[in-house]
């Protein structure tokens, strides 16, 4: 059994309940004339196994959407449901547990610990789950192999290329068997060739393991790897398209 088997089993079960859903979500900053509606009544659903690209110019609402999906922020009004649970009803600790057990994150800046090895970077989220050392080692090595970095376990980030560092970050995101992977501009620090390698890797996890992915990007060629695209402008969804539609 590999690190993604549990996720794939759930997503192949035939259940069609949305994994995540926004129901008339608003996020408002300020009051009166200074009021800014970062999200202005946004509604959408994402089902298990989908690969969705979220796009839009600066200030469109895509980053706010990602922060709410990742339980890093909460709506001013409306509801965010995860596996049918109204996330807004959870306590701060409850949202932290959801992040820890169901979500994986990949960022533009890699966010690896500089003085630790690739293997140790992967073991950190497993430590938070109180997984024993021998099992942590096994899962971390397995995840590194999945992203093509077996043999690089003892390398620190400084000893890896940008593309390899992002592969370590992806391995760290999937090592906990998340239900949802949130990727925020994951190719922003990479050249075109490395960017496409990273996107092909994410596409493979989506296709072969059923991993649900939400990707924020401002690049059309990167969004093209997704099966569905949601475009934001001024806090609203202005268009949704599906590949092949």
Q: What is the pLDDT of residues 65-83, one digit of tens each?
A: 999 999 999 999 999 999 9
User: What per-residue confidence (pLDDT) applies to 188?
Assistant: 85
For residue 120, give both structure tokens: 């140790």
Tell me: pLDDT of 134 over 70: yes
Gyration radius of the chain's alpha carbons: 18
**Residue pointed to by tokens 């390398």:** 155
User: What per-residue confidence (pLDDT) applies to 4?
Assistant: 54
Cβ contact 174:1 at 8 Å: no
What's the rounded mean pLDDT across residues 205-231? 95
**Strands lying side by side in the sheet with 85-86:** 36-46, 20-29, 77-82, 85-86
User: What per-residue confidence (pLDDT) applies to 13?
Assistant: 42
What's the rounded mean pLDDT across residues 49-67? 94
What's the rounded mean pLDDT across residues 201-222? 94
Percent of the chain residues past pLDDT 90, beyond the cut: 78
Task: Label residue 129 by pLDDT band (50, 70, 90).
Answer: confident
Domain ranges of the chain: 5-242
- Average pLDDT of the chain is 90
For the beta carbon of residue 77, count every other beta carbon within 10 angstroms.
Answer: 12
Tell me: pLDDT of 12 over 60: no
What's the rounded mean pLDDT across residues 130-154? 92
User: What per-residue confidence (pLDDT) applies to 111?
Assistant: 86
What's the rounded mean pLDDT across residues 214-242? 95
Tell me: pLDDT of 11 over 50: no
Angle at 223 between CA 220 and CA 225, to 5 degrees: 125
Residue 223 CA to residue 228 CA, distance in Å, equals: 9
What's the rounded mean pLDDT across residues 201-215? 95
Least confident range from 42-56, 113-127, 222-236: namely 113-127
What's the rounded mean pLDDT across residues 145-168? 92
CATH superfamily of 5-242: P-loop containing nucleotide triphosphate hydrolases (3.40.50.300)
């Amino acid at each position: 059994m590999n690190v993604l088997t549990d996720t794939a089993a759930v997503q192949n079960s035939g259940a069609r309940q949305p994994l995540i859903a926004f129901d008339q979500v608003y996020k408002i900053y300020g009051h009166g004339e200074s009021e800014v509606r970062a999200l202005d009544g946004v509604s959408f659903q994402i089902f298990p196994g989908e690969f969705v690209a979220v796009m839009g110019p600066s200030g469109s609402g895509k980053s706010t959407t990602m922060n709410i999906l990742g339980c890093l922020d909460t709506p001013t009004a409306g509801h965010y449901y995860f596996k049918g649970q109204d996330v807004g009803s959870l306590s701060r600790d409850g949202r932290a547990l959801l992040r820890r057990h169901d979500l994986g994150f990949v960022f533009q800046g890699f966010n690896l610990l500089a003085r630790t090895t690739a293997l140790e970077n992967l073991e950190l989220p497993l430590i938070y789950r109180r997984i024993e050392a021998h099992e942590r080692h096994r899962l971390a090595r397995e995840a590194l192999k999945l992203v093509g970095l077996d043999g690089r376990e003892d390398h620190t980030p400084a000893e890896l290329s940008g593309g390899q560092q992002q592969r370590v970050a992806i391995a760290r995101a999937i090592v906990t068997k998340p239900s949802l992977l949130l990727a925020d501009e994951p190719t922003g620090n990479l050249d075109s060739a490395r960017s496409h390698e990273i996107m092909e890797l994410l596409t493979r996890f989506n296709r072969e393991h059923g991993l649900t992915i939400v990707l924020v990007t401002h690049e059309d060629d990167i969004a093209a790897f997704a099966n569905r695209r949601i475009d934001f402008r001024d806090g609203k969804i202005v268009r949704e398209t599906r590949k092949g539609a």
